[in-house]
Amino acid sequence: MKTRIYTSFEETIEDFPDGASLMVFCWGVSGTPQNLLHALKQKAVKDLTLITHNVVPASVGKSVLWDVVTPFMLADQVKKLVTAWPGMSYLGMESPMERRIREGKTELELVSHGILVERIRAGGAGIGGFYSPAGIGTVVERGKEKRVLDDGREYLLEKPLTADFGFIRAHRADKLGNLVYRGGGRGCNPVMATACRTVIAEVDEIVEVGELDAETIITPGIYVNRLVQVPERGLGSARHRRELLSRFPTQGQKS
Amino acid sequence: MKPRLTPEQVAARAALELKDGDYVNLGFGIPNLCASYLPAGIQVAFHAEHGVLGYGPLVPESEWGTADFDYVDAGMRFFRPRPGMAFCDMGQSFDMIRGRHLDAAILGAVEVSGAGDLANWTFGVAESGGIGGSMDLAVGAKRVIIAMEHVTKHGKPKIVEHCNYPLTAKACVDLIVSDLAVIEVGPTGPRLKEIAPGWTPEEVQALTEPTLRMDGAVKEIRW
């Protein structure tokens, strides 16, 4: 299906209903589709199933960047959470998401990072499930088929994951939806892009077809349904990143 | 109170386990310090779970203003790019882990049993703390080395007969480097290899739940 180019984040998620499932990656500022998440927050979509690696605010070292939009901000909208890192207990505080989990308002399916990403890959690749050694003898083996395979090791049967919507953050796109990423911002984005019925990518720049080097494309446009360019002053834009960095010292200064 | 190794000294001792050319994942806390205490003359490539291999030195806080948000490690700390660094997606990153391509993972621990069971992802119920990549690293890395304090804040042994906290993986740990001792663990039980300067094997045993084998000479820890 042809990739559609939008100019408004609100419009790209106009058909996002209550109760839908969403996959989104977040590694602090990096790889996080902040504008799409912000639009979803504004739209106040309810009863989400959220599939994401970490539910923590963006941080650098011990400095929390509260004004960076991450899945952490969606806590009130989430009915079911699939994640490897639900909260902030490592900072010695209970997050809004952890409170909801404790109060029974959000159901938690706890997984390891590696199993989460592989389940998403299976979902995107038409694989019906796979056996993995991670999690044997731990809380995550509950309810899963366990078997000893030919190498004599125990494995757990893991099921594929897909979602209704995937929010993707890439560096550049061409008008066919081919994507390239930047640094660690690649993360789980290319994997999630394969496993969602509607994939929406926000990118720093949309260029003409032919301007991206075909050898470097990580996500072919076949996976990408909607594209939107982050505006000059948008969340996660080069300008926004410079503003965030300007809070920290440059060469030799003390903060 | 007799002196124990500082966290930096524990990290330096743990880093002695690494060899030139190793691919290594470091966990939070003391393990993270290992990057700064590599033995002279060796180069290792560090692996970050979200898909970075062979990244450069961490950016000191006094220079964060010049850093790049797309260059952060698994602990959200800025690093500098380094020639030879490679990015991959998170699926491939965990293929490297589960597929036994990482030479070592140096991790922290809440508890380790004498048989090498590891508990390191939560201090309490399953709803607090995060599994992160720990379960994958524990079963996938060729060697799992634990760098930690020997006892809890309350003086209780962290090396135990059976882990009380939720497990990360069974029988996965190869070596413990603590602030008091270096202990090999595995199917034949824990073996005391080295002790902190000024400590006796009996004193270390008194702070360790399972009985430590002491076949072979017990050496003083050097770092």
Domain A4-114+162-242 maps to which CATH number in 3.40.50.2000, 3.50.50.60, 1.20.120.1770, 3.40.1080.10? 3.40.1080.10
Looking at residue A62, its pLDDT comes to: 81
In chain B, residues with a C-beta closer than 8 Å to the C-beta of A244 are: 69
**Interface size between A and B, measured as CB pairs under 8 A:** 189
ipTM of the complex: 0.95
Q: How far is B44 from chain A (nearest CA, A)?
A: 19
Over residues B125-140, the mean pLDDT reads 82
CB contact under 8 A, A30 and B70: yes
Q: How many CB atoms lie within 10 A of CB A92?
A: 6
Q: How far is A43 from chain B (nearest CA, A)?
A: 28
What tokens does B74 get? 């698994």
CB contact under 8 A, A183 and B87: yes
A33 touches chain B (CB under 8 A): no
Nearest CA among A20, A21, A54, A16 for reference residue A36: A16
CB contact under 8 A, A117 and B169: no
Is there a domain that residue B71 lies in? yes
Looking at residue B125, its pLDDT comes to: 56
Over residues A142-165, the mean pLDDT reads 97
- Residue of B58, B94, B125 to mutate when probing chain A, most A C-beta within 10 A: B94
Domain residue limits, chain A: 4-114+162-242
Is there a domain that residue B24 lies in? yes
- pLDDT tens digits along A88-116: 766 667 889 999 998 999 999 999 999 99
- pLDDT tens digits along B142-172: 999 999 999 999 999 999 999 999 999 999 9
Looking at residue A255, its pLDDT comes to: 45
The percentage of residues in chain B with a pLDDT greater than 90, rounded to a whole number, is 91
Q: How far is A14 from chain B (nearest CA, A)?
A: 29
Q: What gap in Å lies between CA A127 and CA A157, rounded to an integer?
A: 12
- Residue of A98, A109, A113 to mutate when probing chain B, most B C-beta within 10 A: A113
In chain A, residues with a C-beta closer than 8 Å to the C-beta of B94 are: 113-114, 117-118
Q: What gap in Å lies between CA A25 and CA A71, rounded to an integer?
A: 9
- Please tell me which of the candidates B62, B94, B135 has its beta carbon nearest to residue A135: B135
CB contact under 8 A, B167 and A137: yes
Cα distance from N-terminal residue to C-terminal residue, chain A? 50
Beta-carbon-side half-sphere exposure of residue B159 (alpha carbons within 13 Å): 34
Looking at residue A90, its pLDDT comes to: 60
Q: How many CB atoms lie within 10 A of CB A196?
A: 26
Strands A226-229 and A4-6: parallel
Give catalytic residue positions of B. 49
Q: How far is B90 from chain A (nearest CA, A)?
A: 5
Contact B134, B121 (CB under 8 A): yes
Contact A118, A158 (CB under 8 A): yes
Residue-range definition of the domain harbouring residue B29 = 7-220
Q: How many CB atoms lie within 10 A of CB B81?
A: 14
Q: In chain B, which residue's Cα lies nearest the Cα of A189? A: B89
Average pLDDT, chain B: 95
CB contact under 8 A, A184 and B170: no
- CATH code for the domain in which residue B39 is found: 3.40.1080.10
Count: domains in chain B = 1
CB contact under 8 A, A113 and B139: no
Is there a domain that residue B143 lies in? yes
- Please tell me which of the candidates A27, A121, A138 has its beta carbon nearest to residue B135: A138
Is there a domain that residue B2 lies in? no
Contact A192, A116 (CB under 8 A): no
The dihedral region occupied by A31, where left means phi > 0, alpha psi between -120 and 50, and beta the remainder, is: left
- Please tell me which of the candidates A85, A181, A184 has its beta carbon nearest to residue B130: A85
Is there a domain that residue B55 lies in? yes
